[in-house]
Structure 1
Amino acid sequence: MKPLYLYSTPGCHLCELAREVVDPLLNHYALVLEEIDIAASDELIERYGVKIPVLKSPYHIDELCWPFDAAQTANFLQRISV
């Protein structure tokens, strides 16, 4: 299974909502969700601090920033799975 990164931070309510959106889609696209805490890196805080939650594949430059729903997430996962 390929990784799918969820850039987030502990206690982020929106990040919890994002997990609820993406979790049901992971098996269909053969992905495993890896959460990355942006608080562990100044670079990540600068890049994603006002955008989290953010979905990203380590194999593509495309990112999906919040807000996103199930349809938008499925479309994003389809694009990055090709």
Structure 2
Amino acid sequence: MSESPEVAVDLLTTPGCHLCAEALRVTEEVCAEFGITPEEINIEHDDALRAQFAEEIPVLRINGKVRDFWKIDPVRLRRLLAEAA
């Protein structure tokens, strides 16, 4: 597929989170299919993000909009990225 630099994918995580590690693996794998490099954001370094998302980590955002949390479904992520591209 062609590169989609206009699509921004962020994964909000915390260290030591097993759900975050799995979500990052799935997110990186699916994003690579679209030529997108996701950004992992550690919420421990941002008081506002930690206050907003502490109970939902990991959180997937596409173009700044929360699209998923806890478990990232690769089929759903492919559909969301195709829609965003």
TM range (shorter): 0.7 to 0.9
Q: Structure 2 CA distance, aligned partners of 1:75 and 1:47?
A: 26
Identical pairs, percent: 29
- Secondary structure of the residue that 1:32 maps to in structure 2? coil
Q: Equivalent residue for 1:61?
A: 65
Distance 1:51 1:62 in 2: 11
Structure 1: give runs of 5+ residues left out of the alignment.
none
TM-aligned CA distance change 1:24 to 1:51, over 3 Å: same
Q: Provide the residue aligned with 1:22 in structure 2.
A: 27
**1:74 CA displacement:** 1.3
Structure 2: runs of 5+ lacking an equivalent: none
Equivalenced residues, count: 80
Q: TM-score, normalised by structure 1?
A: 0.80
The aligned counterpart of 1:48 is 53
How far apart are the structure 1 equivalents of 2:79 and 2:70? 14
